[in-house]
Amino acid sequence: MSIAYDTIAFRSAKCDGCGECMKACAAVKQGTSRISIVPGARDGAFEMALCRQCGDPKCVMVCPAGALSKNAGNGIVDWAADRCVDCLLCTSGCAYGAISADPIGGRVIKCDQCGGDPACVGACPTDALEWGSAGSIYNRFGDKEDMFVPGLAGCQGCNSELIMRHVMRRIGRNSVLATPPGCIPGMGSVGYNGKTGTKVPVFHPLLTNTASMLAGVRRYYDKIGRKDIVVMALAGDGGTVDCGFHAVSGAAERGEKILYICVDNEGYMNTGMQRSGATPYGSWTSTTPVGDKLKGKTQDAKNMPMIMVAHRAAYVATASTAYMEELYDKLDRAIEASFHGFSYLHIYSPCPTGWRVPANKVIEACRLSVESNFVTLWEYTPEAGLRFTRSPDRPVPVVDYARTIGKYRHLDADQLAHIQAKVDEQVALLKRLAGEVSAVSAARAAAPEDSSTSAGAVPPPLRHETFRP
Min. distance of Cβ 120 from other proteins in angstroms?
15
User: How far is the first Cα of the chain from the last one, in angstroms, to the nearest whole number?
Assistant: 48
Kindly tell me which of 85 and 446 has the beta carbon lying closer to other proteins.
Answer: 85
CB-CB contact of 290 with 223 (8 Å): no
Min. distance of Cβ 384 from other proteins in angstroms?
37
Rounded distance between C-alpha atoms, residue 76 and residue 189, angstroms: 40
Q: Nearest 5 degrees, angle CA 385-CA 246-CA 377? A: 35
Q: Nearest 5 degrees, angle CA 379-CA 249-CA 430? A: 30
Helix %, strand %, coil % of the chain (to 5)? 35, 15, 45
Collapse the DSSP code of 167 into the 3-class scheme (helix H, G, I; strand E, B; otherwise coil) and give the result. Answer: helix
Contact set with other proteins (CB under 8 A): 12, 36, 38-41, 47-49, 58-59, 61-62, 64-66, 82-83, 85-89, 91-97, 100-101, 106
Min. distance of Cβ 77 from other proteins in angstroms?
13
| Residue 28: Cβ within 10 Å count | 17
Min. distance of Cβ 46 from other proteins in angstroms?
9
Across 102-179, the runs of DSSP E, i.e. the strands, are 108-109, 129-132, 175-178
- DSSP H/E element including 75: none
Kindly tell me which of 48 and 258 has the beta carbon lying closer to other proteins.
Answer: 48
CB-CB contact of 387 with 315 (8 Å): no
Kindly tell me which of 41 and 224 has the beta carbon lying closer to other proteins.
Answer: 41
Kindly tell me which of 86 and 332 has the beta carbon lying closer to other proteins.
Answer: 86
Min. distance of Cβ 49 from other proteins in angstroms?
4
Min. distance of Cβ 52 from other proteins in angstroms?
9
Min. distance of Cβ 8 from other proteins in angstroms?
14
Kindly tell me which of 103 and 115 has the beta carbon lying closer to other proteins.
Answer: 103
Min. distance of Cβ 378 from other proteins in angstroms?
29
Kindly tell me which of 65 and 442 has the beta carbon lying closer to other proteins.
Answer: 65
Collapse the DSSP code of 344 into the 3-class scheme (helix H, G, I; strand E, B; otherwise coil) and give the result. Answer: strand
Collapse the DSSP code of 50 into the 3-class scheme (helix H, G, I; strand E, B; otherwise coil) and give the result. Answer: coil
Across 341-425, the runs of DSSP E, i.e. the strands, are 343-348, 378-381, 385-388
- DSSP H/E element including 244: none
Across 156-291, the runs of DSSP E, i.e. the strands, are 175-178, 202-203, 230-236, 259-264
Rounded distance between C-alpha atoms, residue 373 and residue 394, angstroms: 9
Kindly tell me which of 93 and 406 has the beta carbon lying closer to other proteins.
Answer: 93
Min. distance of Cβ 93 from other proteins in angstroms?
6
- DSSP annotation string for 63-74: -TTS-EEE-TTT
| Residue 253: Cβ within 10 Å count | 12
Min. distance of Cβ 14 from other proteins in angstroms?
13
Kindly tell me which of 19 and 255 has the beta carbon lying closer to other proteins.
Answer: 19
Q: Facing residues of 10 across strands?
A: 129
Kindly tell me which of 46 and 245 has the beta carbon lying closer to other proteins.
Answer: 46
Polymer length in residues for the chain: 469
The torsion angles phi and psi of 81, rounded to 5 degrees, stand at -60, -35
Kindly tell me which of 57 and 382 has the beta carbon lying closer to other proteins.
Answer: 57
Kindly tell me which of 96 and 131 has the beta carbon lying closer to other proteins.
Answer: 96
Kindly tell me which of 87 and 206 has the beta carbon lying closer to other proteins.
Answer: 87
Collapse the DSSP code of 381 into the 3-class scheme (helix H, G, I; strand E, B; otherwise coil) and give the result. Answer: strand
Q: Nearest 5 degrees, angle CA 301-CA 304-CA 340? A: 175
Min. distance of Cβ 51 from other proteins in angstroms?
12
Min. distance of Cβ 361 from other proteins in angstroms?
16
Q: Any idea what DSSP says for residue 49?
A: E
